[in-house]
């Protein structure tokens, strides 16, 4: 069972890297423009000023970088791989996972703004699964996985996301604990 969980975490880790990268690289002034260009919808920001083009670029690049690392490790020890990393296009899968993770986060932000929930305020369980749902949907276009793997990935997102956020808080990378 533990091996099964580790394999799923390993496969979707590029999505997690894409989700973390915008926070880790917020100090970079490159493309620091809001995705919604400051526009409003129904009197509320569409996404908010904290959702930037920089986040999308560094998030997608982080997903591709992690897939390159996974390919390298796969060639040393393929035992924990869900797929054959040598037979996939890491640029395509990295883009799909990275864009999917960030698109899921963007969709959640859009809904939170419509509901009047401020940026950074918790919204369980959507704060925990937005990125993994987006990554699942977009990467499924290239690598369709079984339903049990997809469900396990969502459950793992709900369970592990708070732990990663708390670590980010302890490292003073994030303002909120969860």
Query: Would residue 175 count as lying in a domain?
Result: no
Residue 74 has pLDDT above 70, yes or no: yes
| 3-state SS class at 176 | coil
Residue 69 has pLDDT above 90, yes or no: yes
Query: Would residue 108 count as lying in a domain?
Result: yes
- 2 pLDDT band, cuts 50/70/90, is confident
Query: Would residue 94 count as lying in a domain?
Result: yes
Q: What is the pTM of this model?
A: 0.89
Query: Would residue 178 count as lying in a domain?
Result: no
User: Domain limits at 65?
Assistant: 2-170
Instruction: Indicate the helix (H) or strand (E) that contains 104.
Output: helix 90-115
Query: Would residue 65 count as lying in a domain?
Result: yes
Mean pLDDT value across residues 26-50: 89
CA distance 92 to 98: 10
Give me the number of domains the chain comprises.
1
Please say whether the dihedral angle defined by the alpha carbons of residues 100, 89, 31 and 164, taken in this order, is positive or negative. positive
């Amino acid at each position: 069972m533990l091996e099964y969980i580790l394999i799923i975490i390993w496969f979707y880790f590029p999505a997690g890297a894409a989700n973390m990268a915008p926070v880790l690289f917020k100090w970079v002034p490159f493309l620091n423009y809001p995705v919604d260009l400051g526009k409003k919808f129904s009197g509320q920001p569409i996404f908010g000023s904290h959702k930037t083009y920089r986040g999308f670029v560094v998030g997608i690049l982080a997903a591709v970088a992690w897939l390159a690392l996974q390919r390298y490790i796969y060639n040393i020890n393929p035992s924990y791989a869900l797929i054959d990393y040598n037979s996939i296009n890491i640029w395509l899968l990295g883009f799909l996972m990275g864009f999917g993770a960030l698109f899921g986060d963007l969709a959640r932000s859009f809904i939170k703004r419509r509901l009047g929930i401020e940026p950074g305020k918790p919204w369980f369980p959507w704060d925990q699964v937005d990125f993994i749902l987006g990554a699942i949907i977009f990467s499924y276009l290239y690598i369709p996985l079984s339903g049990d793997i997809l469900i396990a990935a969502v459950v793992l997102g709900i369970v592990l996301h708070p732990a990663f956020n708390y670590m980010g808080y302890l490292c003073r990378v994030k303002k909120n604990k969860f």
